[in-house]
């Protein structure tokens, strides 16, 4: 069974929908059973929680919800990290996975990725003694000087949007949590605090994975999303109308309880109306043909028809009369 974790803060009510689309993309392409772990705060409504449960049970998978309250010492550190307000506190939840979920290993996915491949391929990778498996960040060289200033190595810097965590191996490294806090205290100006912290603590011992396990949308030639986990980094997300991922988003959204039901009803209504119009048109044509056939009869034919009808009526009258006479 694949262990899968997502984290979300749903202040506007839409991020749960995005998480649902991510899960639908996983379920649609993955044959193995999936055990889903949702890390969330109080902004996740009961309605959206119910939709996530319905989606998961429909595909015969399992789901568990973890209401997160960040530790007090982490909250104190985060007060000085200005970029937390740019992202959300939920971005920090992945840092706590070794303490929260009692499994041997787990896949973490951001809510702006689409899994257009069998997730089993990522799951069965043997991490050996590595803390985690991740993909080199394809945009990091643009800010290499910033990364260097934090004591990190751009050529080895991984993106934390898709990570295969070896949780048991991390737990054996007992100082992992304190080292995370130490980095955030030392570099409160970090623009990507969760990702920088993960690189600082685990970057020296991670397995670099093939790019297709976390392929940045901007880096994919001709937007060929086949057999990839596509990560919509930056400002353009897969749920944006003009995004190259809009088609995939629509496909996977239609598999969720958030599918656009009103649009479906409008299309169905248009289809029914079209069929009615076709039927009316066909009916009018049929009546017209009947009338045209009638008009084609000659006067002689009409005269014969009248004579036959008259003869038939006379025969019926004669039968009735003979019946009365016998009585």
Residue 262 pLDDT more than 50? no
Q: For 126, which DSSP code?
A: -
CA distance 44 to 67: 9
Q: What is the mean pLDDT of the chain?
A: 88
Query: Nearest-CA neighbor of 227 among 134, 135, 113, 119?
Result: 119
* Whether residue 306 has pLDDT greater than 90: no
The tokens for 40 are 């969330």
Distances in Å between the alpha carbon of 318 and those of 184, 305, 306, 324? Answer: 114, 20, 18, 10
pTM for this prediction:
0.79
Q: How confident is the model at residue 265 (pLDDT cuts 50, 70, 90)?
A: very low
In angstroms, the CA 243 to CA 275 distance is 34
Of the listed ranges 87-91, 298-302, 322-326, the one predicted with least confidence: 322-326
CA distance 148 to 157: 10
For the record, the structure tokens of 69 come out as: 């309250």
What residue spans in the chain does CATH classification 3.90.550.10 cover? Answer: 2-259
Helices marked H in 44-91 — which ranges?
A: 46-58, 72-78
**Contact of 5 with 232, CB cutoff 8 Å:** no
Residue (of 231, 123, 105) closest to 170 by Cα position: 105
Residue 24 C-alpha from the chain's centroid: 5
| pLDDT exceeds cutoff 60 at 268 | no
What does the pLDDT average to over 131-138?
A: 97
Contact 14, 24 (CB under 8 A): no
Task: Convert the pLDDT of each residue in 90-126 to its tens digit.
Answer: 899 999 999 999 999 999 999 999 999 999 999 999 9
Give the domain 2-259 fold. Answer: Spore Coat Polysaccharide Biosynthesis Protein SpsA; Chain A (3.90.550)
CA distances from 221 to 142, 188, 211, 264 (A): 19, 36, 13, 33
Q: How far apart are CA 190 and CA 285, in angstroms?
A: 75
Asked whether residue 38 carries a pLDDT value surpassing 50, the answer given is: yes
- Whether 10 and 103 have beta carbons less than 8 Å apart is answered as no
Which pLDDT value is given to residue 32? 97
Token code pair at residue 248? 């995939």
Residue, of 167 and 301, whose pLDDT is higher? 167
CA atoms of 139 and 159, how far apart (whole Å)? 9
Q: In whole angstroms, how large is the CA radius of gyration of the chain?
A: 34
Tokens of 178: 């304190």
């Amino acid at each position: 069974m694949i262990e899968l974790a997502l984290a979300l803060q749903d202040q506007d009510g839409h991020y749960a929908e995005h998480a649902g689309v991510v899960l639908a993309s996983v379920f649609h392409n993955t044959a193995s059973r999936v055990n889903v772990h949702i890390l969330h705060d109080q902004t996740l409504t009961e309605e959206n929680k119910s939709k996530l449960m319905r989606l998961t049970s429909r595909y015969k998978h399992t789901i568990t919800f973890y209401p997160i309250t960040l530790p007090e010492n982490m909250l104190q550190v985060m007060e000085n990290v200005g970029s937390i307000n740019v992202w959300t506190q939920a971005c920090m939840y992945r840092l706590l996975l070794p303490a929260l979920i009692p499994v041997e290993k787990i896949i973490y996915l951001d809510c702006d990725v689409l899994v257009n491949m069998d997730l089993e391929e990522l799951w069965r990778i043997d991490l050996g003694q590595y803390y985690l498996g991740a993909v080199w960040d394809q945009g990091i060289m643009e800010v290499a000087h910033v990364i260097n200033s934090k004591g990190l190595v751009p050529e080895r810097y991984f993106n934390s949007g898709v990570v295969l965590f070896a949780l048991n191996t991390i737990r054996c490294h007992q100082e992992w949590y304190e080292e995370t806090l130490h980095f955030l205290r030392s570099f409160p100006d970090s623009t990507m605090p969760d990702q920088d912290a993960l690189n600082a603590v685990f970057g020296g011992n991670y397995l670099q994975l093939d790019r297709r396990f976390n392929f940045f949308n901007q880096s994919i030639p001709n937007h060929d999303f086949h057999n990839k986990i596509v990560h919509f980094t930056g400002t353009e997300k897969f749920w944006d109308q003009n995004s190259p991922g809009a088609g995939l988003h629509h496909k996977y959204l239609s598999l969720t309880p958030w599918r656009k039901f009103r649009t479906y009803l409008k299309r169905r209504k248009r289809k029914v109306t079209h069929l009615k119009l076709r039927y009316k048109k066909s009916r009018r044509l049929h009546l017209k043909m009947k009338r045209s056939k009638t008009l084609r009869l000659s006067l002689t034919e009409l005269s014969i028809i009248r004579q036959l009808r008259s003869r038939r009526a006379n025969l019926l009258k004669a039968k009735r009369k003979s019946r009365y006479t016998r009585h």
